């Protein structure tokens, strides 16, 4: 496992989603080396964000600044991974 993907996963585990996204985004822009591992770690981020968004929606808390920030980050991370809002690959 690369140091970058490990840093992404560590930030996910402690809830620093923005930092995890930033690390992954920057790494993908800088080099193609380790791209698959970085994307895999970012897919873990999208899974966590999707879960958090669904959890808020189930509790009827899917409006407001907190939810909007999570959804926006999910959308931005999806652009890096090639996923859609449901986690499927090949989204346009």
Do the domain assignments include residue 92?
A: no
Do the domain assignments include residue 50?
A: yes
Do the domain assignments include residue 88?
A: no
More confident residue, 14 or 84: 14
pLDDT for residue 92? 46
Dihedral of CA 85/86/91/92: which sign? Answer: negative
Quote the longest CA-to-CA distance of the chain.
Answer: 42
Do the domain assignments include residue 14?
A: yes
Query: Based on the structure, what is the number of domains in the chain?
Result: 1
Rounded CA-CA distance 14/79 in Å is 23
Range of the domain at 19: 3-80
Do the domain assignments include residue 85?
A: no
Q: What is the pTM assigned to this prediction?
A: 0.89
Do the domain assignments include residue 35?
A: yes
Task: Give the bridge partners for 89, in sequence order.
Answer: 83
Q: What is the pLDDT of residues 11-66, one digit of tens each?
A: 999 999 999 999 999 999 997 778 999 999 999 999 999 999 999 888 887 788 88
């Amino acid at each position: 496992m690369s140091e970058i993907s490990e840093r992404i996963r560590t930030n996910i585990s402690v809830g620093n989603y923005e930092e995890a996204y930033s690390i992954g985004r920057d790494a993908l822009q800088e080099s193609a080396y380790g791209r698959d591992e970085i994307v895999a770690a970012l897919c873990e981020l999208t899974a966590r964000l999707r879960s958090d968004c669904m959890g808020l929606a189930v509790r009827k808390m899917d409006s407001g600044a907190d939810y909007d920030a999570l959804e926006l980050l999910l959308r931005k991370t999806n652009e890096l991974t090639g996923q859609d809002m449901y986690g499927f690959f090949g989204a346009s």
